[in-house]
Amino acid sequence: MKKIDEYQGKKVLVMGFGISGINAAHLLVKLGANVTANDKATPKNNDIVEDLEADGIKVITGDNPISLANKGFDVVVKNPGIPYDNPLVAAFVKQGTPIITEAELGWQIFDGHLVSVTGSNGKTTTTTLTQLMIAENAKHQVKYAGNIGISFSKIAEGLGPDDTLVTELSSFQLLGAPTIHPHIAIITNIFSNHLDYHKTRENYINAKLNITRNQTKDDFLVINWDRDEWQKIAQRSQATIVPFSRLNKSHEGSYVEDGMIYWRGQEVMPTKDIRLIGPQNVENALAAIAAAKLSGVTNDAIKKVLTTFSGVRHRLQYVMEYQERLFYNDSKSTDIEATEVALQGFDRPVILLAGGLDRGYTFERLVPYFKKHVKAMIVFGECKDKMKDAGNQAGVPVIESENAITAVPEAWKLSEPGDVILLSPANASWDQFPSFEVRGDKFIEAVEELTGKKEQ
């Protein structure tokens, strides 16, 4: 951990009691700050409040009182999910109070080698693969943190100048990380996500590009080269560009040719040996390979990871095989693009479980994928009628169910040996579940109850 005095004697407001917020509050106390912690909700677990107060932190819950804007705070550390049009946040913006996220705080105290990953899809898998690959050859600590569910600042506290940290960073985090400077930055892809938060696609792209804002020619930006738009986006970085591509050969980076993965013209391994299924996971592997090779990792270490790693939970996760049916949990597919790539990963008939929060869009884009890959559909949630319309357009049998749990026995009734039963909702979970993680866990529990087996 790097010693800094930036917060010594400063008044700091931490907004949000998530894992990152709580860790940030405690860290700021160690850094000499006078800390107030605020959460709009009242925690059900009073231990959280007691723990904060025991560290000398003033705690305010149940509201984001606008009066806090007049208390003379020097800095606000905001939970990334709190929008900037929140009245209290907007008040701080208006008066020019610096607003950062916990990722910025983590960077400020980090003293090692930083690799950072962002993108619309594939962030967590790419982050995990990159960490595993670098760790295979490392003589020092190699950890991961960030949007992957582990506090950046908490992990950074325990690392030294020779250690490596691989961080997953969301657009929300990057908006509040003005000085973050990874030596290797990865952009997996950019679609149109979180426009309810960012308002426009250009705002969303700009937030993603904050990952490379402070990079120089001595740093590296590893970026997907499979779309013209992404190639143009790369031109806005000052870093050395390292492309990865499943579709376009480029000797400057990692790519696929005739079923073989190459790094700068040298063979690495066949794509068929990657344990993760689907073209999106080939892309994730290519991104991780580029970062690993830039970090000095051997081909043998890369092969070991890619031939054994079976996936991150809820991200096209293999659950089990039962009576010649394969079950997959892809609850993290909360947008159309993610479900598109999930369906392309299977050469068996798919019984698709899909639906969820109605964000106002329809699903005509999925019709060609339904026609090619889907045998039958079970739809649920607020958007089930729109999902059903797309299934009908594709000529696919569609059954309505209450949710992702009740859909499992319905899918089983429709299945035959050789089929895939896939939860890939193409929608957020919030109409019926607190998170995509809970939705995926409940799906797995339903599969286990149906089969009498535990997930593999």
Please provide the DSSP assignment of 241-303 as one string: EEEEESSS--TTSEEEETTEEEETTEEEEEGGG-SS-SHHHHHHHHHHHHHHHHTT--HHHHH
Query: Has 153 been labeled as part of a binding site?
Result: no
Query: Has 119 been labeled as part of a binding site?
Result: yes
Question: 25, 125, 116, 26: which is closest to 341 by C-alpha?
Answer: 125
Cα of 150 vs its chain's centroid, Å: 12
Whether 378 contacts 411, CB under 8 Å: yes
Query: Has 124 been labeled as part of a binding site?
Result: yes
Task: Spell out where 292-365 has E strands.
Answer: 317-322, 325-329, 350-355
Query: Has 120 been labeled as part of a binding site?
Result: yes
Q: Cα(66)–Cα(302) distance, rounded to whole angstroms?
A: 51
Whether 83 contacts 89, CB under 8 Å: yes
Query: Has 123 been labeled as part of a binding site?
Result: yes
Query: Has 45 been labeled as part of a binding site?
Result: no
- Residues with Cβ < 8 Å from 376, sequence gap 6 or more? 351, 352, 396, 397, 398, 399, 411, 414
Q: Cα(220)–Cα(243) distance, rounded to whole angstroms?
A: 10
Q: Cα(64)–Cα(76) distance, rounded to whole angstroms?
A: 13
* Binding residue ranges: 119-125
* Binding residue ranges for ATP: 119-125
